[in-house]
């Protein structure tokens, strides 16, 4: 069953949940062959009943780990939090990053734009999410290179004078 996993992290992003649950977004997801929508809503409002859609929908606030949900997803739609983005990219999942334009001094915007420029994600805001879902070509996304903690360790050793 092709599924979409949506995450807002530990805060709330009701606009993203409302947009992805809109009839237009649900229609696009269904037309692209998705059959299930899993929503992690954080502190935000739980979505209204979506019984009129052919998609199976489930929602929850928090879990100890999102690894299982990410692992099962065929597409991830996420807020622009670094942890959420990097975890999805680390699992090699196609990712649509949605900018929360209501955040002041939005540092998340910088990360999302850079990941988009580098070809790893699609980036949009709530007003362009449906269009992005409709036009995205997942085959154009570039894999995100795995972390190299040994390089950081060598750098840290050099900084503190161990080398």
Question: Tens of pLDDT along 86-131?
Answer: 899 999 999 999 998 887 666 778 888 889 999 999 999 999 999 9
The pTM for the full model equals 0.87
pLDDT beyond 70 at 81: yes
Cα-based torsion angle of the residue sequence 47, 58, 44, 33 in order, rounded to the nearest 10 degrees: -80
CATH number for the domain spanning 109: value is 3.40.50.2000
pLDDT beyond 90 at 136: yes
Question: Tens of pLDDT along 25-48?
Answer: 999 999 999 999 999 999 998 887
Task: Give the residue among 111, 87, 77, 65 at the shortest CA–CA distance from 7.
Answer: 77
Number of domains in the chain: 1
Question: Tens of pLDDT along 1-13?
Answer: 899 999 999 889 9
Q: Which helix (H) or strand (E) holds 116?
A: helix 107-117
- 20: CB partners within 8 A, 6+ apart: 4, 6, 37, 39, 77, 129
pLDDT beyond 70 at 152: no
Structural domain of 83: 3-160
């Amino acid at each position: 069953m092709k599924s979409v996993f949506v995450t807002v992290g530990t805060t709330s992003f009701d606009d993203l949940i409302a947009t992805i649950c809109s009839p237009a977004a649900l229609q696009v997801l269904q037309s692209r062959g998705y059959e299930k929508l899993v929503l992690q809503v954080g502190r935000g409002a739980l979505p209204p009943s979506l019984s009129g859609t052919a998609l199976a929908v489930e929602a929850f606030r928090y879990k100890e780990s999102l690894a299982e949900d990410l692992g099962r997803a065929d597409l991830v739609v996420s807020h622009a939090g670094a942890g959420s983005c990097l975890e999805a990219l680390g699992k090699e999942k196609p990712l649509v990053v949605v900018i929360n334009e209501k955040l002041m001094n939005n540092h998340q915007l910088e990360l999302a734009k850079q990941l988009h420029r580098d070809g790893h994600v699609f980036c949009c805001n709530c007003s362009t999410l449906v269009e992005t879902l409709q036009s995205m070509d997942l085959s154009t996304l570039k894999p995100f290179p795995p972390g190299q903690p040994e390089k950081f360790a060598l750098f840290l050793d050099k900084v503190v004078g161990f080398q």
